[in-house]
Structure 1
Amino acid sequence: MEYFKSGLKSVLGGPQPGAQPTGAETIEKLVDRVTSSTLLEDRRDACRALKSLSKKYRLEVGTQGMDALKQTLEVDRANCEIIGYCLDTLCNITSSDTFEEEQDLLNINIGEQFTEIFIKNTDNVSLVLSFLEEYDFRVRWPAVKLLTSLLKNKPKDIQDIVLVSPMGVSKLMDILADSREVIRNHVLLLLIQLTKGNANIQKIVAFENAFDRLFEVIREEGWLDGGIVVEDCLLLMLNLLKNNTSNINFFKEGSYIQKLTPMFVIPDNIEELGWSPQKVSNIHCVLQLVRTLVSPNNPVQITSVCQKNLRNANLLEALCNILMANGVPADILTETINTVGEVIRGNLNNQEYFCTVMAPSNPPRPAIVVLLMSMVNEKQPFSLRCAVLYCFQSFLFKNEIGQQQVVQTLLPSTNNNTALTTGQLLCGGLFSSDSLSNWFSAVALSHTLIENPAQKEQLLRVLLATNLGSQPVSLLHQCATFMQQTNKLQSKIGLLMLLATWMSHCTQAVAIFLNVPGAMAFLTAQTSATEYDNNEELLQGLCAFLMGICVVFNDNTVANYSKENLSQLIEKRVGLEMYISKLSEISRHEVYGRASKQPQTKAKYPNDLILEFEYCKLFKALESVIVKTLGAQKQLSNDMTELSLSEQENGLLLQYKDVIRDQDRRLQDLNKDLMRITQERDNLQVQNEDLRQSNLQLQDENTLLKAQLSAGTVNSETLPNTELPDPDLLLKLKQLEKEVSEKDSELEQLHKDQDDLLELLTDQDVKLTTFKNRLRDLGENIEDEDSDNNSIDETDVK
């Protein structure tokens, strides 16, 4: 400490007797020495002292010394020592950490504020990038750290600056070849942050031979047995490939898929050696890398070629070996199952290979059977069971042969083979006491029927013996019966999804379902229920959807349940408007939004498993068909009613239709005005929010200056050129607020006009009823029941 004090004395000179200089005064003298000294040694010593003080007095050093430090970087760039001091000082100033001396300024992110000031001149960042070319450790190391600090505080801004900086990315890539591991490893972290969410930077990094360099580092570190550096390399590869089809193309065409093979070599005695935490992390990353190459979200052609290359590189075989190996941690096994699923999804050759994989059990069993045993076993981890379902779905995706093989195991056979089959496992899970097994099995079985009408008819042949001595019933009959009997919501939803998939586009299945005792009564009761529990409303929507399928795919062969009869049942017992509302509840539900995004069902907890991807696709395709069919049936009924009226009654009816149409047009015009004014109000609110944020930013800068003034660290002469809140800006904000208020008033008036119009419609309905009563008085036979069924309301006219 005394040595440090003596150094300061040599730079600043001794203080006056009895006077102790403040930190701000000390820094002011040091900054003056940096800018005015002619001797390089004096400037170097002053920069070294500023570096030492930049943590304790960050606010003062940043406020007074940033310009001096930037000037020194330009003037003295030939001296590595002084440049290193300046870069280290800037690292401390822009650090996102909160130093101990700043605990009373927790509401201000000082590092971010100084970062914003530093990068306002983009040449400053380019200047730091230029120091990466200097091999001297004292310069290159702090330059990398400073860029990392800037990137952490302002990622988007730094990405944009680096992107337009000449050879900016190339300079960073060159450091990957630095023999000093601390620099190389740190630049890996820097590149991981730099490539996040920026496709252009990702492409440049990839074409700067990033994959070759990263594979070389991984090889040097010992592949998957390496340390955290291997994980960092894999994370950078993931950034380069995820959602970037250009880089995926470059990766597959550059034969990099084959270079993944050594990472999947698992020794035979792995159970004895064990899995270190780092090795588990590394293999997680490489499995994610493979999944990125074959993701269902990629273009089909790219995914197909990658799947083929993975098979040719024996990577699918290696993945299956991990799948069947002993002692594999549960999380690795789960991710491997997901990866295998996406490698085989939609690829017939890979699906056929997977079908031949046998588990090393006694007796040997197909891998598919072993996986399904885990799926219907409630003792297995939840994430593992979800992964097995996804893998099984992927095996059946666009695989008619695989679908046929599964259904065939459910049909009567002359083969005396007593081995457990996929069909037996699915049927057992479908009717077990575990609701999760019910849901998994129902979804898995439904995937044997997707886009395969022949298997829907074949599955109708499956018979089940329910009780000893009783006649066997069809599988569909038992599903419909179990759906009525179970009191578990998840089980009901799984069965409703299976039945909807099975009965859509299959009139035979609809006919069998309509003959199941109580089936339609159950659907009608559920659809017309008025419970308001969130998931109960979804259940009602699923029942409404299945009712609609019974209407659309009805061949009129079941007595009392023809297409017309079911339509009238829906209208009388539920009401067409209520039915459509219940039907649309499915797509409005949050679980529909999650399930419809991707084929893999993702859930943290068992109760989160409600809907699945293929069912959402089916609903989206058939919802409008059901509504149109029911609408056509109702229009036909209305046309028949109009034909039975007299000429006078028809004239009266047409008169009221014209009135309602006119009112409907007025209502539509009001709605258009409402939408326009709402949009204008929203735009004004956005402008208001932008101005408010600008004001807050200026207030933050003002707070920063006040904090300096309260600490006695600056005077009016050393204040930076920081703008305070602009009165004109505040005035503009109050204009905008007044305009928003006016729009709100106009919006309220529109709502009032709409209410008046609705009252008018009610009056018209009363008049219509009066005229009907007059028609009855004149001797016309208009029954109350017919009147209720054939009444014309606003919806009919629309």
Structure 2
Amino acid sequence: MEYFKSGLKTVLGSQDPDQQPSGAETVERLVERVQSSTLLDDRRDACRALKALSRKYRVEVGAQGMDALRFILETDKADCEIIGYALDTLCNVMSPNLFDEEENSEEQQALLHVGEQFTEMFLKRQENVTLILSFLEEYDFKVRWPALKLLAVLLTNRLRDIQEIILVSPMGVSKLMDLLGDSREVIRNDTLLLLIQLTKSNANIQKIVAFENAFDRLFDVIVEEGCADGGIVVEDCFLLMLNLLKNNSSNQNFFKEGSYIQKLCPMFALPPEGSDETCWGPQKVAILLCVLQVVRCLVSPANPGQVTTSCQKSLYSSGIFQALSSILMASGVPVNFLTEAICTLSEVIRGNQHNQQHFANVMAPINPPREAIIILLMSMVNEKQSFILRCSVLYCFQCYLFKNEVGQAQVVQTLLSPSYE
């Protein structure tokens, strides 16, 4: 704190102890210094001080300093340090969250939406966003990371507006996609989070991101991070993948034709027989649930029929059908994952006679062997099983019988057989 005070004295000049300036007065003097000083060092010191004050005096810094900070971004691009201070200050001013310094403020309630209000002011000039995007090309961490954080804040506050601006910005999406290859993990990981936001409910952006080699880049990160045994970054990769594929038939076709379905198969490898429960840790289950969601969005009943059928075919030929069948018959699988796996397999076979027939031939690993579908039906009527698991089995049975006259007849015949117990 003493260092900060001495820094302010350097920027503002010595003050009479009995006439200390208020926060608003201090901000005003700093903004004036940013605007009027001809020396870069003076402007840099003033920007550093504004950044330090922008949490406690957010309203004052935003109201008085936004134009000055924008001026710095336009005129001092060659100096990474001052650009970093300006970006960080704008990020604080427009943050959707309350800072610790603000929590005891008498105006705390009014501060809840101040970040959104400053964002609205900032977006009155569309070129401001284009300017922020341009700083993503600067490799220096002091510039690239705050620019990325500021874009994330803008997206949080004004999602639709930022999506439209990025759509019309030259190479806007490309600049973001390039950051997935950044060797600094914090940049790459924050880019993933930003892209998850950016691709929400916008088919045009989803298509552009997909055609910017998104799937290749994501699978590279997934492999690098350890696939199903990885951490939260792998989960984020699949969440972004889900955004790109859900209700987007163009991207679904692209995913299938690019042979990306085959790259999902290793994710379903079961732990060795006899492994303890630690191999099904919460993070691994969370990742696998996301993978199942990706598979389901490829074969969703809401998709165009042609897309669903072609994806069902690829899911069989890639080995994912067989992997899901093995999961159904495996022991020690967590209930929430097993339930989702049953629902996923249900949609992989729904209305597809080839897959339905192969599902009918799946045998449970018991002695004597019995059809897996019969074992599933028995678990459905077993009240000891969880209700949600029993519902998933019912859905599987419905999907097996959907447009499957042969299967319908076989089930009836089996149920009426004297050997059925």
TM-score, normalising length: structure 1: 0.51
State the 1:271 CA deviation: 3.7
Q: How does 1:230-269 map to 2 (within 5 A)?
A: 230-269=234-273
Alignment of 1:508-523 (within 5 A): none
In 2, the alpha carbon distance for the partners of 1:33 and 1:270 equals: 70
State the Cα distance separating 1:389 from its structure 2 match: 0.6
Q: RCO higher in 1 or 2 (8 Å CA, sep ≥ 6)?
A: 2
Counterpart for residue 5 of structure 1: 5
Q: Once the 2 structures are TM-superposed, how far is the Cα of residue 106 of structure 1 from its aligned partner?
A: 1.1
- Write out per-residue CA displacement over residues 395-434 of structure 1, whole angstroms, 9 at most, x where no aligned residue: 01111100111122344x6xxx6243xxxxxxxxxxxxxx
CA contact (8 A) 2:138 2:144 kept: yes
How many residue pairs get aligned? The number is 416
Task: Say which of 204, 208, 211 aligns to 1:204.
Answer: 208
1:154 corresponds in structure 2 to 158
Q: Is 1:271–1:328's contact at 8 Å kept on the other side of the alignment?
A: no
Deviations, residues 465-494 of structure 1 (Å, cap 9, x unaligned): xxxxxxxxxxxxxxxxxxxxxxxxxxxxxx
Tell me, what secondary structure is at the counterpart of 2:18?
A: coil
What residue is the counterpart of 1:375 in the other structure? 380
Q: 2:224 is matched with which residue?
A: 220
Note the residue ranges of structure 1 that are not aligned, 5 or more in a row: 421-798
Cross-structure match for 2:109: 106
The 3-state SS of whatever aligns with 1:18 is helix
Aligned 8 A contact 1:271 1:326 in 2: no
2:3 and 2:394 map into 1 onto residues whose CA distance is: 69
Distance (Å, rounded) in 2 between the aligned partners of 1:127 and 1:324: 55
What corresponds to 2:89 in structure 1? Answer: 89
Partner of 1:582: none
- 1:258-407 maps to which residues of 2 (within 5 A)? 258-269=262-273, 271-272=275-276, 273-407=278-412
Cα distance change of structure 1 residues 141 and 154 upon mapping to structure 2, 3 Å threshold: same
What is the CA RMSD across the aligned residues, in angstroms? 1.2
Higher deviation after alignment, 265-274 or 185-194: 265-274
Q: Match of 2:295, SS?
A: helix
Q: CA deviation digits over 1:219-242, x for unaligned, max 9?
A: 101111000000000000000000
Give the distance between the partners of 2:273 and 2:262, measured in 1 at CA.
25
In the other structure, the counterpart of 2:34 is 34
Runs of 4+ in 1 over 3 A off after TM superposition: none
Q: Distance in 1 between matches of 2:206 and 2:273?
A: 39
Residues 751-795 of structure 1, C-alpha deviations (whole Å, 9 max, x = no match) = xxxxxxxxxxxxxxxxxxxxxxxxxxxxxxxxxxxxxxxxxxxxx
Give secondary structure in 2 for the equivalent of 1:322: helix
Q: Distance in 1 between matches of 2:179 and 2:274?
A: 36
Pick which of 255-264 and 212-221 moved more: 255-264
Q: Distance in 1 between matches of 2:189 and 2:408?
A: 49
Partner residue in 2 for 1:176: 180
Aligned to 2:419: 418
Query: Which one has a bigger Cα radius of gyration?
Result: 1
User: In 2, Cα distance between the equivalents of 1:256 and 1:270?
Assistant: 31
The 8 Å contact of residues 414 and 420 in structure 2, kept in 1 or not, is answered as no
Tell me the CA shift for residue 362 of structure 1: 2.6
Shift of 1:270: 6.3
Stretch moving more, 374-383 or 196-205 = 374-383
* SS state at 1:409 partner: helix
2:69 is matched with which residue? 69
SS where residue 15 of structure 2 aligns?
coil
Aligned residue type for 2:25: E
Q: Distance in 2 between matches of 1:314 and 1:295?
A: 19
CA distance in 2, matches of 1:387, 1:300: 23
Cα deviation for residue 360 of structure 1 reads 1.4
Separation in structure 1 between the aligned mates of residue 383 and residue 4 of structure 2, nearest angstrom: 68
- How far does the alpha carbon of each residue in 1:162-184 deviate from its partner, in whole angstroms, 9 at most, with x for none? 11111111100000000000010
Matches within 5 A, 1:96-135: 96-99=96-99, 100-101=101-102, 103=105, 104-107=107-110, 108-135=112-139
CA distance in 1, matches of 2:304, 2:141: 45
Amino acid at match of 2:271: P
Deviation of residue 364 (structure 1)? 2.0
- Alignment of structure 1 residues 432-581 onto 2, 5 Å: none
What amino acid does structure 2 have at the position aligned with 1:19? Q
8 Å CA contact 2:24, 2:60 repeated in 1: yes
- How far does residue 268 in structure 1 lie from its aligned partner after superposition? 2.0
1:17 shift after superposition: 5.4
Equivalent AA in structure 2 for residue 54 of structure 1: S
User: What are the Cα deviations for residues 56-81 of structure 1, in whole angstroms up to 9, with x where unaligned?
Assistant: 00000000000000000000011000
Residues 248-278 of structure 1: CA deviation (Å, up to 9, x unaligned) = 0111111111111111111323642530100
Kept in 2: contact 1:375–1:385 (CA 8 A): yes
Could you say if the C-alpha distance between residues 369 and 243 of structure 1 is closer, same or farther in structure 2, counting changes exceeding 3 Å? same
Aligned to 1:45: 45
- Counterpart CA distance in 1 for 2:128 and 2:274 is 52
CA distance in structure 2 between the aligned counterparts of 1:268 and 1:11, rounded to whole angstroms: 65
Identity of aligned residues (%): 70
Which secondary structure state, in structure 1, belongs to the residue aligned with residue 256 of structure 2?
helix
Separation (CA, whole Å) in 2 of partners of 1:410 and 1:392: 14
Distance 1:217 1:263, change over 3 A: same
The residue type paired with residue 295 of structure 2 is V
Q: Return the alpha-carbon distance in structure 2 between the equivalents of residues 126 and 16 of structure 1.
A: 44
